[in-house]
Amino acid sequence: MITITIAEEEVLNKIKSYSVDKIGVSTLKEDLGIYEHDLNDLLNSLKSKGLVFYDGSAVQLKEVDAEINTVDSKEDVILAELNQKEKKSFEIIKSLANDKGFVSRYEIEGNLLYGNLKLSDFRMYHILLSLENKGLIKAVYRKNGDYYKIL
């Protein structure tokens, strides 16, 4: 799932409405009636999310199969992405757990930092704390080190 803001959705829909492959940024700017620097920011954001090709002067729509979710603001985008990362992190933690539901803290950290998600230290600890606060995991100490227990 890709999460975008309402402003990004408006730009994306305008790009979709054209019958040509590549659209000049100046044409898009005139049709939308927004400032060039604002449009540039929105197009760069859409490019970073993998929805368009953008080279600074022209934009082209990419074929994307993912579901697109629209939210009100950038803060909502961050929260939605965090929630998705929490879900993916919890799935990884569950896959690492032994038959009693225990996983070494170091094994979790290694998989979240260097695995498919490639989380930063701050994001990883924030997600682990959030999962604890939601009652999905619990930090425990066992004789041979720090562990998390899946609840």
Q: Which of 11, 41, 69 is the last residue of a domain?
A: 69
Residues 10 and 38 occupy one common structural domain: yes
**Residues 58-68 pLDDT 10s:** 898 888 787 88
pTM for the predicted model, two decimal places: 0.60
91 and 51 part of one domain: no
Task: Residue 138: give the domain boundaries.
Answer: 73-150
Structural domain total, the chain: 2
Q: Which pairing describes strands 52-54 and 58-61: parallel, antiparallel, or unpaired?
A: antiparallel
Same domain, 42 and 111: no
Q: What confidence tens digit (pLDDT) does each residue in 93-125 have?
A: 889 888 888 999 899 889 888 988 888 888 889
Tell me, yes or no, whether 62 and 13 share the same domain.
yes
